[in-house]
Chain A
């Protein structure tokens, strides 16, 4: 639940001397305003709203994907936005969900979605690399000695 501990402002404050105070509280993390009928409204920085939205959306996507993977032979489409998880085996998926859980916790506490975005980007990038058969064969195979030294590219 979102907690805003600053002063409660009234609708009339927006047109009065308290307008700057209201905006200052909003910039600091959140300002609570009661309309004339008591309806509660809040103003928070856009970046925080985006972070909260991203955390919620990703958490829901992860829960749905975990539920789908718990069933027999889940199709990639059933994984929704995390369909790229289909290229990984159970061990890697478990590692992903563990990292994502940590990233969500940090993002929720700091109201900064960067840890979630980094986690998703790195795993999605890995999934894309494994999607091609030739690259997958080398990336998932044992190391061999079939390498040649190359100089700095020249015209």
Chain B
């Protein structure tokens, strides 16, 4: 019976199978680091207003960024390391203060620690501390 050009039969055992996925060398990738996101209590009110002020999508994009990759440039919005002595880490192991310009006119300053051991959880875990939020115009 002639083979239909659009149909493939199961490969014969041992035959070359070009589209079968190969295992990643060295085993599965390391789990993606996830950071707990903390907000200074003075800014909890503004944090709760964030979706309404800058839009839910922009607020979620910011949260996703700091929860996953707080030390990298964001895919949406802009960030920069703040300058001067006051940008120094406020707790051992934390980064310098990072200034994030959230799309929709918001500015958020934070520090992060990829291996914080503070809090109820004794194991090292990532923590982002949001120091300040500014939703006014510059």
Stretch of B5-13, B14-22, B23-31, B128-136 on the interface side: B128-136
The answer on a CB contact under 8 Å between A142 and B82 is no
Of all chain B residues, the one with the shortest Cβ separation from A130 is B86
Residues of A within 8 A of B90 (CB): 142-143
Give the residue of A121, A143, A148, A150 whose beta carbon is less than 8 angstroms from that of B80: A121
Q: What's the interface size class on A, roughly?
A: 20 to 34
Residues of A within 8 A of B47 (CB): 150
The smallest C-beta distance from B113 to any residue of chain A, in angstroms, reads 11
The answer on a CB contact under 8 Å between A153 and B59 is yes
Residues of A within 8 A of B51 (CB): 153-155
The smallest C-beta distance from A85 to any residue of chain B, in angstroms, reads 11
The answer on a CB contact under 8 Å between A143 and B91 is yes
Residues of B within 8 A of A149 (CB): 36-38
The smallest C-beta distance from A89 to any residue of chain B, in angstroms, reads 8
CA distance A122 to B80 in the complex (A): 7
The answer on a CB contact under 8 Å between B91 and A139 is no
The smallest C-beta distance from A122 to any residue of chain B, in angstroms, reads 5
The answer on a CB contact under 8 Å between A92 and B109 is no
Q: Is the interface of B mostly helix, strand, loop or mixed?
A: mixed
Instruction: Indicate with 1 or 0, residue by residue over B79-109, a CB within 8 angstroms of chain A CB atoms.
Output: 0111111110011001001010000000101
The answer on a CB contact under 8 Å between B99 and A126 is yes
The answer on a CB contact under 8 Å between A125 and B82 is yes
The answer on a CB contact under 8 Å between A139 and B131 is yes
Give the residue of A122, A138, A143, A154 whose beta carbon is less than 8 angstroms from that of B83: A122
The smallest C-beta distance from B112 to any residue of chain A, in angstroms, reads 12
The answer on a CB contact under 8 Å between A146 and B40 is yes
Cβ of B3 < 8 Å from any Cβ of A? no
Cβ of B56 < 8 Å from any Cβ of A? yes
Cβ of A47 < 8 Å from any Cβ of B? no
Cβ of A152 < 8 Å from any Cβ of B? yes
The smallest C-beta distance from B49 to any residue of chain A, in angstroms, reads 10
Residues of B within 8 A of A96 (CB): 83-84
Cβ of A95 < 8 Å from any Cβ of B? yes
The answer on a CB contact under 8 Å between A129 and B63 is no
The smallest C-beta distance from B68 to any residue of chain A, in angstroms, reads 11
List 19 A–B pairs whose Cβ atoms lie within 8 Å, in order of A's numbering.
A88-B84, A92-B84, A92-B85, A96-B83, A99-B83, A121-B80, A126-B82, A129-B107, A135-B109, A139-B109, A143-B91, A147-B39, A148-B41, A149-B36, A150-B39, A153-B50, A153-B63, A154-B51, A155-B56
| Additional 12 contacts, C-beta under 8 A, given A139-B132, A146-B40, A152-B67 | A92-B83, A95-B83, A95-B84, A95-B85, A121-B80, A123-B83, A126-B82, A134-B132, A142-B90, A143-B94, A148-B41, A153-B50
